[in-house]
Chains A and B, each alone.
Chain A
Amino acid sequence: MTKPMKIRSLTGRAAAPMPNGLSARQYPLGLSLLLIAPLFLLLGFGFIYPVGRLLGQSFFAPELGLDNYRRLLETSLYLRVLIRTITVAFVVMSASLAIGYPVALAMARLRRDLSSLVMACVLLPLWTSALVRSYAWIVILQRRGLVNDVLSGLGLISEPLKLLYTEGAVILAMTHVLVPFMILPIYGALRAIPPDLVQAARNLGADRVNVFIRILLPLSLPGVFAGCLMTFILALGFYVTPALVGGPSSLLMATLIGQQTTETLDWGFAGALSTVLLLVTLLIVILFRKVLSHSRGISNVA
């Protein structure tokens, strides 16, 4: 009772020198700009400028025109790579969701000390570089690697399977690298659900399954969308892992762009590939946002 009154009188006093219509909850524009400036500078020099140049080159190198794009669209190999990239990203996203959601759920429901432990396990791989983790998969999947050794040791196979340099290997390794990006936002969303709500649902007659379907799942959707978006976009542009554990039959866009810039030095075509990848990414982001804004009330929760 006394508390809101105090707050009201405080803001009442502060209201005098404030310009019309400005809320005390917002910083003045100048201050906001100052706070954001470093980010904008970094974005400008580190991203907009070089990416703009790369994209620009797709129209100018080697000469003015849409030749680079014609070549991309007319070569079925490049289209196949594009479609494969999107498919792989989608599969990686789905696999991360399938693996990540239960982990996030368990973490959100565990005692605090246990949940910190699981959190550490989730984050541990992020402390090592993607390169190291990809090499780890090579060790496991190669012809005389762990998996083949165990399988032949058990007598299940007579000669080593080809596991490495396949699309399956790429998906497995990428999922491994990206699953924390799925777990963290879902965990955050689940953790933010007040325990009261679960108790209320139980009290009103919901069993555990209904609590999950009607309360936890819908309220964690913002986290699911964030996780899906993040893993999907990261997977679209993933370079290191596919380059190491993938083979020619599982070539992805990022690797293709890498080849153009480092091996063939065809900057124009690299630019065209990048433009297409960027457009696909933007399209996906827009699609995600559409879905998100359609699920009513969800944006109010997170």
Chain B
Amino acid sequence: MKGEAVTLEQIDKNFAKTAVVRNVSIAVQAGEFLSLLGPSGSGKTTLLMMIAGFETPNRGRISVGARDITFEAPNKRDVGMVFQKYALFPHMTVAQNIAFPLRMRRFGKAEISDRVDAMLATVQLEGFADRLPLQLSGGQQQRVALARALVAEPPVLLMDEPLSALDKKLRETLQIEIKRIQKNLAVTVVYVTHDQEEALTMSDRIAVMADGELMQIGAPTDLYHRPTNAFVAGFIGKMNFLDGEYLGQDGGEAVIRLTETATLKCPVSTVPAAAGQRLTIAIRPEDVAVRQCDGFSPQCVRGRIEAALFVGAAYVILVAIEGHSGKVLEARFAATGGSQPFVPGDTVDVIFEPHALKLFASQQRQAA
């Protein structure tokens, strides 16, 4: 088996006149592990259903390799799928479940039994062949579902939140196992998940969806460090958003007024606003430095500690910025021994590292 590319071109999908997927184009490379990540209702499952053939798009084209499968019957697509609730056939044993796709393809008896045995070994379920699905734990059922989806060696495998019903420990074990199997078989995977940590650890690339639209697609580090819009910035990891006014350029740096008395400089030349307009400044909690108040320093704003928390590996402090009407700002720094250096009520200086600042147009949609 060799993975094949999956290409979605300008896909639209409406359910009873409401657009659920809007103009989505994604090119999944052969052998790639691509995750679809997005809030509930963003159209991830719908997209998967269109690749699997249970829904047809209102517009656009879907192809696997060079084959156009947009309107192909689901049983002719050769696209494997693992369902969220496993969807094992309750009246068939584990072996019969795994053999099902082979029997549908009229494989010989000997070959079926060889392949089923090999697949049982791959998912580490030797000895479970004659059990019924009901006699298996959730994790074991998920492995059977995976084995069944892969046994006929489809070039593409779709998974819709395959681990969401399992507890955290098991989820992590299976994440590693799925990744290992995917690597070995070189199958192309399109993986839907709610869990961004899961997406970040497993994926070659992540496509972030919101409201049926593709917000950004890229490697996990790209999305984290170089979000192209406020939604992705807020959705992947933690992000502080502050409202500011763009004053103009000064020596290749954007100058932004944050409060009456404080301005920030940011080394970007392309700013998503015209001079005098409002925009959104974004900074990750770990990039915010907080220091005991010592008068003036550049990139610095006066603030008051609202709360100081110890969260294990880090201290988190929430700072209300003086003269700024927005939300409190979250700062986070490694807890290296000692005790929390700040006390609620302290007045502090908040320092914005210039290279950590990102600027977005102020009317952009943000993740909740």
Contacts and interface: CB of A to CB of B under 8 A. Distances in A.
Interface of A: 1, 4, 194, 196-197, 199-207, 210, 214-215, 218-219, 296-298, 300-301
Nearest to A203: B81
B87 interface: yes
Given A206-B104, A297-B91, A1 B54 contact: no
A192 to B, nearest CB: 11
A255 B304 CA distance: 94
B264 to A, nearest CB: 40
Interface stretch (B72-80, B112-120, B310-318, B351-359): B72-80
Interface of B: 52-54, 73-75, 77-81, 83, 85, 87-92, 100-101, 104-105, 132, 134, 148-149, 152, 167-168
B98 to A, nearest CB: 10
B167 A301 contact: no
28 contacts: A1-B167, A1-B168, A196-B83, A196-B85, A199-B52, A200-B83, A202-B73, A203-B53, A203-B74, A203-B80, A203-B81, A204-B148, A205-B75, A205-B78, A205-B105, A205-B152, A206-B75, A207-B73, A207-B75, A210-B104, A214-B100, A219-B90, A219-B91, A297-B90, A297-B132, A298-B91, A300-B91, A300-B134
Q: Which of A1, A204, A206, A214 has the most CB of B within 10 A?
A: A204
A77 to B, nearest CB: 46
Given A196-B85, A210-B104, A202 B74 contact: yes
Given A1-B168, A196-B85, A219-B90, A203 B152 contact: no
B300 to A, nearest CB: 41
Nearest to A202: B74
Which has the most chain A C-beta neighbours within 10 Å: B52, B89, B101, B149?
B89
Nearest to B171: A1
**A-B residue pairs, 6 tightest by C-beta:** A205-B104, A196-B87, A200-B87, A204-B101, A297-B91, A202-B74
A204 B168 contact: no
A300 B149 CA distance: 24
B132 A199 contact: no
A214 to B, nearest CB: 8
Contacts of B152: 204-205
A221 to B, nearest CB: 9
Most buried by A among B81, B87, B148, B152: B87
Contacts of B101: 204-205
Contacts of A200: 81, 83, 87-89
